Amino acid sequence: MNIGVFSGSFNPIHIGHVILGNYIVEYTDVDEVWFLVSPHNPLKEADSLLDENTRLEMVKLALRKYDKLIASDFEFSMPTPSYTIGTLDALSAKYPEQNFTLIIGGDNWEVFENWRDYDRLLQNYKLKVYPRIDSRISISGKLRNQVEALDSPIIEISSTFIRDGIKDHKDVRSFLPDGVYEYIIERKLYNK
């Protein structure tokens, strides 16, 4: 089975994440997309994140109606900060029967050479790169067998936009999957 690995803070998960995951399982060779909630992204400040179990619960709520989109706490047992190469290697060791493909945005592709062991990552795993506004996806000929530029819809909603809207008492429910907005409001998340 081909598994797409979509790792992120999901602070919170929003409809753009779900739309992208659904596009990938319906329009590419990926059979399932695993949404790996990262306890700590090494490129982000840890204190800006809700705790990982709260973010995982929101991902579970968002994906409950999608059989091919899976919420995962796999990175919770890994050392923090976790790096993508370590996560993919650990996934491959635990699930040797699966083929793992990394899913990243065009903005991350532009700085991919800054990632830890990016060259080994490219040698051992396939990548699917989704478009972002203001990002250009350029893939050299020698990488075309490993890296695929997706023609997926561009949904420019950010978790920062959602958090700021909630702080400003905006009704942002249309940007969030069913149940996630209610979960956030009931628990008074992102109000500070």
Strand order in the sheet with 69-72: 69-72, 32-37, 2-8, 99-105, 126-130, 147-149
Residue 157 CB: number of other CB atoms within 10 A? Answer: 16
Q: Are 125 and 101 in contact (CB under 8 A)?
A: yes
Question: Looking at residue 52, what is its pLDDT?
Answer: 93
What does the pLDDT profile of the chain (192 residues) look like in tens digits?
A: 999 999 999 999 999 999 999 999 999 999 999 999 998 655 555 556 899 999 999 999 999 999 999 999 999 999 877 799 999 999 999 999 999 999 999 999 999 999 999 999 999 999 999 999 888 888 888 898 999 999 999 988 999 999 999 999 999 999 999 999 999 999 999 987
User: What are phi and psi for residue 171, nearest 5 degrees?
Assistant: -85, 100
Determine the Cα–Cα distance for residues 176 and 92; give it in Å rounded to an integer.
32
Inter-helix orientation angle 15-27/52-63, to 10°: 50
Q: Residue 99 contacts by C-beta under 8 Å, 6 or more apart in sequence?
A: 1, 2, 3, 126
The one-character DSSP state at 186 is H
Which of the four CATH numbers 3.40.50.2300, 3.40.50.620, 3.30.70.3270, 3.30.1490.20 does domain 2-154 have?
Answer: 3.40.50.620
Residues 102-122 have pLDDT tens digits of 999 999 999 999 999 999 999
Domain segments of the chain as ranges: 2-154
Q: What global pTM score does this model have?
A: 0.93
How many Å apart are CA 21 and CA 2, to the nearest integer? 13
Inter-residue long-range contacts of 104-108, CB under 8 Å, 24+ positions, other chains counted: 104/128, 104/129, 104/130, 105/129, 105/130, 105/131, 105/132, 105/135, 106/130, 106/131, 106/132, 106/135, 106/136, 106/137, 107/132, 107/134, 107/135
How far apart (Å, rounded) are the C-alpha atoms in residues 55 and 119? Answer: 31
Any residues with CB less than 8 A from the CB of 31 and at least 6 apart, and which? 1, 2, 3, 25, 68
pLDDT for 41 equals: 57
